[in-house]
Each structure stands twice: as structure tokens, then as C-alpha cells.
């Protein structure tokens, strides 16, 4: 096979060749190939390519370097293309060209570094190679600051800012330091599968812009589970459609296992199948809906820049239709007998549905809505005369509100009230959910309930650096310090977890980890009310869209580490690096037990109800599983109880000692 073919990845790049072959190739021939593969090319883009090709041919010929060159290399699933890739002496250089620019802009630098991060972390054949991002502002003067060519521990070299004259000498300098005298297998590298673990936000963007996220490249951290799960869901949907059946699928999994991603996949896969296969993604998690919608709208802003106001409004409406608040969906459909246009309903965080009492209270004692939330959703979807499917995404151990009825009510309604529905679940549901939350005998005794093992996602993809991070958090919160210590040893090199008594040290550490468009942020429990003397205020409301999406320099951004987010604002979402603040609401009663408090007025009040105690532990479970790459836990030092008995140092010292006993290292 010819070395420089597109092989099994047709369209993966617009042009590729050896560097000597590229130098010999005629510019118009190369541009012809670039234009052939590009859907939207204007004269400005064509001229930019012409200039880029000419300069690259001249500079690379002068340098005498050999290797391979790739133009417009596709970053699978992220909808990005890297201007130029150079493969030289067993190294990867990603070049971001800004033709005609005479300054280095922060936004361009972030873009250039993001490409390298994507290659380094998610491109299978590059995980053990040195990868160097270079931003080339062609007409800029030499960068005035000293640039280090050191690298991060994962072999990503620091971003270099160069002009058209300085970039090849810089490549030569870096190759001299890190290069090896062996070739990269071009065919293998070019056709390498990606192993991304995209954030839920990125997945949502991809869901809308491509209408197909089924080809997210294989992930070593749970993608196989996701594929099997989605395949079984597809089979169940097909079964319902073909046999005019009504079915419920329960997708369970550890925090970060990819449940929301599965739901978005289902929506995306059905977008192009016609009006008879429409699906809707629902969530009672307001911040999650808000952030997903805003991410989608931002993703299409540039595409819509030249469109009419009407077209922009239509697009925003389409996004709002794709991802909906369950509250609005219920209100819209409860009071009429209309059949929803969607045959498939995905309900995220189905464990957080409301019981009848809370539904009555929240909907102002409206008789129509005075039923449990699952009962109402069955009622709405049951109006379809032919077929319907509900896919319930269930986060285990994450109920954090009062009035959350859990998944048992979904089964009860399906078994007792809607006897034409079939239910599909994984047997893991009985070992993962507390006994009091699920009636195993009721489920196993119903012939319409079917076990499907693939509907449980066992492995976390949120923390791609540490599959066992969720297990570590569970051991810590379930009072198993020795087990937590053992898991910590396994994950700490890839997923760092530290502890400190100094909030400034914690913030500095988290900020220092951030690269490119990665995000860090400060998290604390909503009941953590005695962190205020440390400068940590936990507001009831935050600008959640900007907290997750605004640029790092924006004061509203999580990266500024000024606005603290609670469990209610981050459940179902994630950041890369977290500072988790621990207050005296969850403290130690003895070596083997937690003690549970709420702050009322001027003092701590004990939480006596088992339900309220569970909500508190699960709130910390949510906070401790939000970071994709690592975290630092901050525990205040407190003060002498005579000075302030609500911040007694004894509360915090015992918490700190326990966390140390779980193996966590001091920062």
C-alpha cells in the first residue's frame, strides 16, 4: 500500500505527503487537493493556503528536515481540523497558522494548545510521543518573552509562539532535544483511533452540529461499555417500533460513567430518521439543561453569523427543543391529551424524580399534576397509539433533594399502573442501589421486567486518567479508609488528589494545572455555611452558564475561582481540576462514622432523619466526582471554640485526620 493514502480514514485529512515529496509537489496541485476535500472554500482561504504552502516549502527545504506532513488533520468527534501536522524524528508538531497576523493573540494561543492537548490525550498513537504545539503568526516580530522548551509530565511540550522565519529553527531546536532516530509508522499514526472522553458539553455540541455522535473513537476508559449499552438500547427501540410496544430502559452507572452521553447519543442518532423517530432529552437538573443549551448555541454562532434573524431564532428554537427542562415538558403536556411528537424520551438523572407530595407542592396543588413524576411521564408517553420508549438515566447514590422518589417509583408505575409497558434493566441495579430504594421482589416477580446486563455502565469515563476514582470516593464516604488508601495508591499518579488547610494554596495548585481551555473551579456543599471566614461563600444562585462556559479571564468563569458552585449547580456536569471545600456539616463522630449537621440561624443543628443524612453524604459524593483530572480538598483549620464554637478546630481536625487516613497526600 502506498504510504501516503487516506486508507481506512478517507477524509481524515485533506493532503499528506513526505516532507521531501511535499517540497517537490506543485503548489497548485496541493491546493487542488485541499479544495477537493473542503466543502466551503473562498478566495481568502485559497490565498491563505497558497501562502502557507509556499512558505512551508521554502522553510522546510532550507532546514533539510525529513519526515511527514499533513494538512487539515481532523480531530475526530470534536469538529476541529489542525492546520498542519509535522511528524519528525518520532515527534508530533501541531501548527496553527495565522496568515498575515502581526501579533500573538491569547485566543489563538489557546486554540493552538488545545489541539496539542487533544492529540496528546485522545490520539492513541500519540500517547507516548512528544507533542509540540506551535502558534505561527506569520508577520509578527520575534516573540519578546523567553520561551521554555520544557514539557509537561505527559510529554506535551510547552506552547511556542513563532513567526514564519523563526518556526523552523525552533522545530530544529526541539527535535535536537527530544527527537529519536526512529520513524513513526505513518499509516498507523494517520489512521489511529481516538480515545476521547469528551465532556458532556462537548458531546452535546457534537450531537447538534453533526447529528451523529455514534463514531466517537474508542475510549480505553469505558467506551466499550457505552457501545454495548447503546447497541442494546437501539435493539429495544427497534423492538418497540417493529412490534408496536411500549418500553422503559433503565441505564445505571457510577458517577461519570457516560449516562448523559448515552442519552445525547440516542437523541443525535434519531435526528435524521424522520418525524416518526423524534426524541427529546429531558432533565430536571436546571443547570445542566441551561449549560447544554448555551453550549450548543455558542457552537453554531459563527455558522449563523451571516444568517437572517429568523434563521438564528429557528436554530435557537431547535436547540431548546432538543434539550428540555422536565418541568416545562410536564406543564406543557399534563393538561391535554395531545400526543407528543417524540416517540423516544430520554430522562436524565431519573433518580431525582419527585414523589406525589412534592409534585403537589411544586405545582400549586394542581389536581392534574398531583401524581408522582414517573406516573405523569408514563401517562404522557402512553398516549402514543403505536409505540414509545422511555430511557431513564439513573445516577446511583446521587439523590440530593428531599422529595426525590428514586427509581423504585418508575418500576411501581410500570408494573401496577401501566401494564402494557415492558421494563429493561441491569441486574446490577440490585447491588448498586440501597435496598430501601428498590423493591427487588416486585421487579423480579413481574414477567414484563427483563434483565439486560449491558444497561449498567461500570467504568467512569469522566476521569480518563483514573478509572477507579469513583471507587475511591465511595470508599472514603462509606467509612472504609483502608480500602480508600489502597485505591488511592492506584490512582494518585494519574489522578492526583491532595489535601490542604490553606485555601490559597489549593487555588494556586488548581490554577497551575490548567492548560488551554481546561477548567478549574471551587466547589462546596450548599450547607457549608461556616466557610465564610475563609472567604468562601456558597450562593444559592450563580450564573451557571458563564461559570462553565465563559473564557478563563471572565470574572464569572469558574477559572477565576471567585464564585463557588454547590452540588446543585454541578451535578451532571464537570470541570477538569477542582478545589473541594469541606465544612463541619459532614464531620466525624467516631473513627468509623460520620456525623451530620445543618447550619440554622447561629448554630449547627443535627440532622436526625436518615434520609437527610443520605442527602448530605451524596452531596459530597457529587462534589468529589466532578473533576475529570484531579482535585485538592480544602479543610479549614478552624479556631478555638471559645472564639467561635461553630468553627471549632476539633471539628475540622477530625475530618482532616480521617482524610489523611484514606491515604490522601498533603499538598
Pairing of strands 323-325, 279-283: parallel
Strand partners, 62: none
User: Quick check: helix, strand or coil at residue 128?
Assistant: coil
Q: Is the pLDDT of residue 16 over 50?
A: yes
Contact 4, 186 (CB under 8 A): yes
* Domain boundaries defined on the chain: 15-190, 222-286+324-457, 469-666
Position 122 pLDDT exceeds 90: no
Q: What is the pLDDT of residue 524?
A: 98
Share of the chain above pLDDT 90, in %: 51
| Contact predicate 574/534, CB 8 Å | no
CA-wise closest residue to 92 among 14, 23, 171, 13? 171
Q: Of 176-190, 243-257, 296-310, where does mean pLDDT reach its minimum?
A: 296-310
User: What number is the average pLDDT over the span 15-43?
Assistant: 81
Q: Greater confidence, 288 or 254?
A: 288
Locate all alpha helices (DSSP H) within 407-502, ordered by sequence. Answer: 408-412, 429-432, 440-444, 469-477, 481-491
pLDDT in tens, 272-288: 676 677 788 888 888 88
Q: Check whether 315 has a pLDDT greater than 70.
A: no
What's the confidence (pLDDT) of residue 311?
61
Q: pTM of the entire structure?
A: 0.74
Residue 404's closest CA among 367, 373, 368, 364? Answer: 373
DSSP 558: G
Give the DSSP letter of residue 194.
B
User: Candidates 2.60.120, 3.30.300, 3.40.50, 3.30.420; correct CATH number of 222-286+324-457?
Assistant: 3.40.50
Q: Classify residue 583 as exposed, middle or buried by CB count within 10 Å of its CB (0-12, 13-18, 19+).
A: buried
Number of helices (H) and strands (E), helices first, in the chain? 24, 23
Contacts 24+ apart (CB under 8 A), 24-29: 27/53, 27/54, 27/57
Amino acid at each position: 500500500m502506498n504510504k501516503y493514502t487516506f486508507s481506512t480514514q478517507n477524509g481524515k485529512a485533506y493532503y499528506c505527503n513526505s516532507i521531501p515529496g511535499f517540497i517537490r509537489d506543485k503548489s497548485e496541485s496541493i491546493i487542488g487537493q485541499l479544495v477537493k476535500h473542503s466543502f466551503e472554500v473562498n478566495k481568502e482561504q485559497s490565498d491563505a493556503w497558497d501562502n502557507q504552502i509556499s512558505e512551508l516549502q521554502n522553510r522546510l527545504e532550507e532546514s533539510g528536515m525529513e519526515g511527514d506532513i499533513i494538512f487539515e488533520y481532523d480531530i475526530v468527534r470534536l469538529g476541529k481540523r489542525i492546520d498542519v501536522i509535522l511528524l519528525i524524528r518520532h515527534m508530533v508538531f501541531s501548527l496553527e497558522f495565522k496568515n498575515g497576523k502581526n501579533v500573538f493573540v491569547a485566543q489563538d494561543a489557546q486554540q493552538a494548545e488545545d489541539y496539542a492537548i487533544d492529540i496528546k490525550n485522545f490520539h492513541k498513537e500519540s500517547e507516548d510521543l512528544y507533542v509540540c504545539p506551535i502558534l505561527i503568526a506569520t508577520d509578527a516580530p520575534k516573540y519578546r518573552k523567553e520561551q521554555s522548551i520544557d514539557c509537561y509530565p505527559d510529554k506535551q511540550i510547552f506552547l511556542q509562539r513563532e513567526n514564519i522565519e523563526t518556526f523552523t529553527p525552533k522545530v530544529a531546536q526541539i527535535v535536537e532535544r527530544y527527537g529519536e532516530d526512529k520513524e513513526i509508522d505513518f499509516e498507523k499514526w494517520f489512521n489511529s483511533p481516538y480515545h476521547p472522553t469528551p465532556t458532556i458539553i462537548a458531546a452535546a455540541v457534537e450531537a447538534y452540529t453533526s447529528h451523529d455522535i455514534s463514531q466517537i473513537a474508542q475510549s480505553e476508559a469505558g467506551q466499550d461499555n457505552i457501545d454495548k449499552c447503546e447497541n442494546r438500547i437501539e435493539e429495544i427501540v427497534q423492538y418497540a417500533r417493529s412490534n408496536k410496544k411500549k418500553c422503559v430502559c433503565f441505564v445505571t452507572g457510577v458517577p461519570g460513567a457516560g449516562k448523559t452521553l448515552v442519552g445525547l447519543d440516542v437523541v443525535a442518532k434519531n435526528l435524521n430518521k424522520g418525524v416518526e423517530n423524534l426524541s427529546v432529552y429531558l432533565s430536571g437538573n436546571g443547570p445542566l439543561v441551561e449549560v447544554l443549551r448555551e453550549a450548543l448555541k455558542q457552537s453554531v454562532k459563527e455558522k449563523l453569523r451571516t444568517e437572517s434573524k429568523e434563521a438564528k431564532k429557528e436554530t435557537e428554537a431547535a436547540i431548546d427543543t432538543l434539550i428540555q427542562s422536565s418541568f416545562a415538558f410536564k406543564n406543557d403536556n399534563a393538561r391535554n391529551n395531545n400526543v407528543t411528537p417524540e416517540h423516544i424520551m430520554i430522562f436524565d438523572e431519573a433518580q431525582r424524580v419527585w414523589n406525589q407530595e412534592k409534585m403537589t407542592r411544586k405545582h400549586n396543588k394542581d389536581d392534574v399534576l398531583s401524581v408522582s413524576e414517573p406516573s405523569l411521564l408514563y401517562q404522557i408517553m402512553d398516549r402514543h397509539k403505536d409505540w414509545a420508549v422511555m430511557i431513564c438515566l439513573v445516577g446511583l447514590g446521587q439523590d440530593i433533594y428531599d422529595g426525590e422518589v428514586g427509581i423504585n417509583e418508575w418500576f411501581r408505575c410500570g408494573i401496577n399502573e401501566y401494564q402494557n409497558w415492558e421494563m429493561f434493566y441491569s441486574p446490577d441495579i440490585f447491588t448498586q442501589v440501597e435496598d430501601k430504594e428498590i423493591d427487588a421482589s416486585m421487579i423480579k416477580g413481574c414477567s414484563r421486567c427483563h434483565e439486560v446486563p449491558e444497561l449498567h455502565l461500570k467504568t467512569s469515563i469522566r476521569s480518563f486518567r483514573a478509572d477507579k476514582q469513583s471507587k475511591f470516593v465511595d470508599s472514603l464516604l462509606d467509612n472504609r479508609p483502608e480500602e480508600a488508601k489502597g485505591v488511592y495508591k492506584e490512582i494518585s499518579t494519574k489522578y492526583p488528589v491532595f489535601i490542604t488547610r490553606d485555601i490559597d494554596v489549593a487555588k494556586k495548585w488548581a490554577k497551575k494545572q490548567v492548560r488551554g481551555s481546561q477548567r478549574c473551579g471551587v466547589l462546596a456543599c450548599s450547607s457549608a455555611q461556616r466557610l465564610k471566614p475563609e472567604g468562601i461563600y456558597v450562593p444559592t444562585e450563580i450564573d451557571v452558564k458563564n461559570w462553565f462556559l465563559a473564557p478563563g479571564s471572565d470574572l464569572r468563569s469558574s477559572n477565576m475561582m471567585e464564585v463557588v458552585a454547590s452540588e446543585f449547580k454541578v451535578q451532571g456536569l464537570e470541570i477538569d481540576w477542582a478545589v473541594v471545600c469541606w465544612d463541619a456539616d459532614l464531620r466525624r463522630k467516631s473513627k468509623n462514622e460520620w456525623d451530620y449537621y445543618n447550619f440554622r440561624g447561629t448554630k449547627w443543628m443535627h440532622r436526625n432523619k436518615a434520609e437527610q443524612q443520605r442527602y448530605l453524604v451524596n452531596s459530597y459524593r457529587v462534589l468529589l466526582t466532578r473533576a475529570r483530572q484531579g482535585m485538592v480538598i480544602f479543610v479549614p483549620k478552624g479556631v478555638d471554640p471559645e472564639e467561635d464554637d461553630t468553627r471549632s478546630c476539633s471539628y475540622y481536625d477530625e475530618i482532616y485526620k480521617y482524610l489523611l487516613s484514606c491515604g490522601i497526600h498533603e499538598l
